[in-house]
Amino acid sequence: MDWAALQEALAEVVLTESEGEQTDLAMEAQEASKVPLPTGDSSSITSDGGSEVLRLWELEMEEKRSKRDDRRAMLELEVKKAALEAEERKAAREAEAEERKAAWEAEIRKVKLEAEKRMAEWDDRMRLEQAKLDHEIRMLELKAQQTRLGEDEETTVTPRPSLGGWVIWRSKPSALGTL
């Protein structure tokens, strides 16, 4: 329940009690009016007795009002306690939601990092494959050049790192020279 609903419920309870107490007071007032007042001799004894009854009735009314006020205060305390408990539950739910959100965000970051790692590995594999293919193409090109030089000449393709790559050597000198 939210705070407004709790206040509304408290107001209804207090009104219901107030109406019940007002009905009780009205009934007591009717009963008190039925008590015959002393007639005739208006001596001080009768007057004192009537005032004692009136004082006793006033004390009873005051005691009932005090009880009613105590009940009202207890109801207000219960409403405040219920409101506090509702606020605590709400705060707990919000904290739990924040924890779930943080865990979810951490999981998303973890998945993104894993995806980036996989993409980097894939890129590395593709570069390696491309290098292999480039090497294979170069080897095929060199073999094709060797075949074009002539079938009667004997040509050797050997790696010469100091010369910057592959070098074709012919065993018979020709007019073209070394490629």
The H-or-E segment that residue 158 falls in is: strand 155-160
Report the Cα–Cα distance between both ends of the chain, in Å, rounded: 92
Q: Residue 158 and residue 150: Cα distance in Å, rounded?
A: 18
pLDDT by residue (tens digit) across 45-95? 445 567 888 888 899 999 999 999 999 999 999 999 998 999 999 999 999
Q: Is the pLDDT of residue 104 over 80?
A: yes
Q: Residue 63 and residue 57: Cα distance in Å, rounded?
A: 10
pLDDT reported for residue 152:
45
pLDDT by residue (tens digit) across 110-121? 999 999 999 999
pLDDT band of residue 101 (cuts 50, 70, 90) is very high
Q: Is the pLDDT of residue 97 over 90?
A: yes
Q: Residue 134 and residue 94: Cα distance in Å, rounded?
A: 59
Give residue 69's region: left, alpha or beta (phi > 0; psi -120 to 50): alpha
Would you kindly state where each structural domain of the chain is located, as residue ranges? 3-33+43-118, 122-170
Q: Residue 177 and residue 158: Cα distance in Å, rounded?
A: 16
Q: Report helix angle 3-34 to 44-148, nearest 10.
A: 170
Q: Is the pLDDT of residue 145 over 70?
A: yes
Query: Which residue stretches of the chain are H helix?
Result: 3-34, 44-148
- pLDDT mean across residues, the chain: 78
- Please identify which residue in the block is written with the tokens 């019940």: 20
Q: Return the percentage of the chain with pLDDT > 90, whole number.
A: 44
Distances (CA, A) of 19 to 5, 22, 26, 29, 81: 21, 5, 10, 15, 25
Q: Residue 70 and residue 16: Cα distance in Å, rounded?
A: 15
Length of the chain: 179
pLDDT band of residue 157 (cuts 50, 70, 90) is low
Q: pTM, whole model, 2 decimals?
A: 0.38
pLDDT reported for residue 20:
67
Cα dihedral 77, 82, 83, 87 sign: positive
